[in-house]
Amino acid sequence: MLDKILLYIGAALPLFWGIAHLFPTNSVVKGFGNISLNNKRIITMEWIIEGVALIFIGVVIAAVTYIDDTSVVSKVVYTISFMFLNILSVISLMTGSKIDFIPFKLCPIIFTSASIMVLLGNYL
């Protein structure tokens, strides 16, 4: 039971952070100031893609947990998700955490916390 709770928490963190990521897209793009239309589109695309990727990883973790959290496929999904979340955490530590905007500083904490929940849920 505890394993499933940890897995669902590990799924919920990136899922909800990804949803929250999508709401400020326009303000984030405007925050870059006077840049070309192409650059605005690139930033918009990348911002949305990160949010969707986080939503996707959360949904996949939750789905395999719901279907069968003990199957070989689920174990592989948990391992890959753990690695993916930690890669995002390292990238966020090297880039976003240096920006004076609190949500950017939260990314590595959220990604690492989610990855730990998935790891613990996978092995308990």
Tell me the pLDDT band of 118, cut-offs 50, 70 and 90: very high
Instruction: Look at residues 112, 110, 61 and name the one whose alpha carbon lies nearest to residue 86.
Output: 112
What is the domain count for the chain?
Answer: 1
How confident is the model at residue 84, as a pLDDT? 97
Length of the chain equals 124
- Tell me how far apart the alpha carbons of residues 90 and 3 are, in angstroms, rounded to a whole number: 25
pLDDT of 66-113, one tens digit each?
Answer: 999 999 999 999 999 999 999 999 999 998 877 887 888 899 999 999
State the Cα–Cα distance between residues 86 and 113, nearest whole angstrom: 9
pLDDT at 78: 98
What is residue 45's predicted lDDT score, i.e. its pLDDT? 96
Cβ contact 25:48 at 8 Å = yes
Question: What letter represents residue 107's amino acid?
Answer: C
Domain with 109, as residue range(s), is 2-123
Question: For 23-81, how does the pLDDT look when each residue is reduced to its tens digit (9 = 90+)?
Answer: 999 998 998 899 999 999 999 999 999 999 999 999 999 999 999 999 999 999 999 99
CB of 14 closer than 8 Å to CB of 55: yes
Query: In the prediction, which pLDDT does 104 show?
Result: 83
